[in-house]
Amino acid sequence: MSVTVPEPRGTARPRRQNRTHYLYVAVVAAVGLGILVGLLFPDFAVELKPLGTAFVALIKMMIQPVIFCTIVIGVGSVRSAARVGKVGGLALAYFLAMSTVALAIGLVVGNILHPGSGLHLTDEAASAGAAQAEGAGTTTDFLLGIVPTSLFSALTSGEVLETLLVALLVGFAVQAMGRTGEPILRGVGHVQRLVFRVLSMIMWVAPVGAFGAMAAVVGETGVDALKSLAVLMLGFYVTCALFVFVVLGTLLKAVTGVNVFSLFKYLGREFLLILSTSSSESALPRLIAKMEHAGVDKPTVGVVVPTGYSFNLDGTAIYLTMASLFIASALGDPLSIGEQVSLLLFMMIASKGAAGVTGAGMATLAGGLSSHRPELLDGVGLIVGIDRFMSEARALTNFAGNSVATVLIAHWTGGLDRARLDRVLVGEEPFDETTMLDEDEDHAVLEPSPVATQPV
C-alpha cells in the first residue's frame, strides 16, 4: 500500500558531475593548435576548413527548434498579449537607439584614423569585391523573406525571422486558447528538453570544429596578409571594445547595478565558442538557456534574444561604418559627412537578419555600396583578406549587445529576478551544462503539482 505525499520543498536534487569544463579546455587547446597548424602547414590547414563549417552547420540545425519552443512557451504562458507587445516594442526601440550609437562611434573613430589612406586597389581585389556583391539581397527581399512558404517550412528553411514570426503566431494562438492550450505547452516543453539534450551532445565536437576553423583561416591569410591592414583591424577592435565596455557597460551598471564583467564571465564559454567559430549563431541556443537560468523570464528571453539576433547588430553597424570609410579613402574618394550618414543608414536597414552568419557582413557592405555608391564597390576586395578576423569581432560585439539588452529590457519590464541573477553571477547557482535547462523550474512548468509516491 502506498500513499501520495508532497515532495519536501527544501529537498535538493543531487547534481550530476559536470565534465563540460574539460570540453572548453579542449576548445582553447584546439584553437591554439589550429593557429599553429595554420602557420606551419598552410596548405594542409586550408583543407581542414570543412571541419569548422560542419560544426557551425550542426549548431545552426538546432537554432530554429530552440527559438520555436522558447517563444511558444514564453508567449503562450503569459495571460496578457499586452505584456509581450510591451517587451517587443521596448526591445525594438532599444535596438534602434543602440545601432545609432554604434554607427556614431564608428564614424568618429573612422574619421580620426582615416583608415585606407595610401592603399592602392588591384584588379584582383576589384573582382573579389564584385563577387561579394552578388551575395547581398535588397531590403524588399528581406521583408518578403520574413513570411514563410508554409507554416511548417518556417521550421526547416534556415531563416530565423520566419521561425520568429510563426512561433509568435502559435504562441498567441495558444495564449488565446486558455486552459485548453496547456497540454500543447506541456508538449512543447518536452520537445524543448529533447532539443537541448541533442544540442548538449553536439557541443562535444566543438574542439574539432574550432581546430578546423582556426587552422583554415590562418592558413588562408597568414601573418603577412594582415600587416597592411593592421590600422583598420586594430581600429575596429578598439571601437568595438569602447562600445561594449564603455557604452553598454556604463548603461548596464547605471540601470541595473550589474557589473558587465560579471555578466560576461558568466557567458565566458559562449564568447569562446563564438571566437572559435566566428559565428554568433553558434551561441544563440546557449544564450537563451543561460538567460532563463539567470532569472530572466521566458517571455522576455523568447522575444528579445531571437529578435536581437536580427535587429540588434551593434558590431555589424560599426563594421559597416569603418569599412565604408576605409574603402572610400583607399579609392581616393572620401565620403562627406552627409554621404556617410546617408550610406550607413541605408546599410543599417539592409543588414537586418545578417547577424551571426559568417561573411554576411561583407555581403551586406557590398550590397549597400552597389545600390548607393556603386563606384566604391570595387574596394570591397581590399578587406577580403581580413574579413574573417573582423567577422569574429562583429560576432562577439553582437552577442555582447544582445546579452546586455536582454538583462536591461527584463529589468525595465519587470521580468528580471534580480536576487537570482546575483546568485547566478557569483556562482551560487551554477548552470546545468548537461541539459541546459533549469531542472526545478522546468519540472514546475510541466507538472504544476509535483508529488512523490512513497511506501508506508
- Tens digits of per-residue pLDDT, 107-132? 888 778 766 555 544 444 444 444 44
pLDDT class of 389 with cuts at 50, 70, 90? low
Of 257 and 80, which is predicted with more confidence? Answer: 257
Please work out, in degrees rounded to the nearest 5, the angle formed at the alpha carbon of residue 292 by the alpha carbons of 291 and 294.
Answer: 65
- If we measure between CA atoms, which residue out of 393, 42, 384, 397 comes closest to residue 229? 384
Q: What is the pLDDT of residues 413-453, one digit of tens each?
A: 988 999 999 999 988 888 877 666 655 444 444 444 333 33
The model carries a pTM of 0.67
pLDDT tens-place string over residues 36-46 = 888 888 888 88
% pLDDT > 90, the chain: 13
Least confident of 99-108, 117-126, 269-278: 117-126
Q: Cβ distance 137 to 128 under 8 Å?
A: no
**Architecture of the CATH domain 78-155+224-450:** Orthogonal Bundle (1.10)
Segment of 179-188, 216-225, 308-317 carrying the highest mean pLDDT = 179-188
Confidence of residue 143 (pLDDT cuts 50, 70, 90): low
List C-alpha distances in Å: 40 to 37, 95, 224: 5, 43, 14
| Contact of 75 with 303, CB cutoff 8 Å | yes
Q: What is the pLDDT of residue 222?
A: 63
Q: What is the pLDDT of residue 153?
A: 82
**Predicted confidence (pLDDT) per residue in 442-454, tens digit:** 444 444 433 333 3
Candidates 103, 130, 119, 136; CA nearest to 334 is 119
So what's the pLDDT on residue 78?
67
Contact by Cβ (8 Å): 365, 344: no
Tell me the C-alpha to C-alpha distance, in Å, between residue 435 and each of 5, 194, 195.
28, 9, 10
Cα gap 194→381, rounded to integer Å: 44
The arithmetic mean of pLDDT across residues 374-402, rounded, is 74
- The string of pLDDT tens digits covering residues 292-344 is 999 998 888 888 888 887 777 788 888 887 888 877 777 777 777 777 777 76
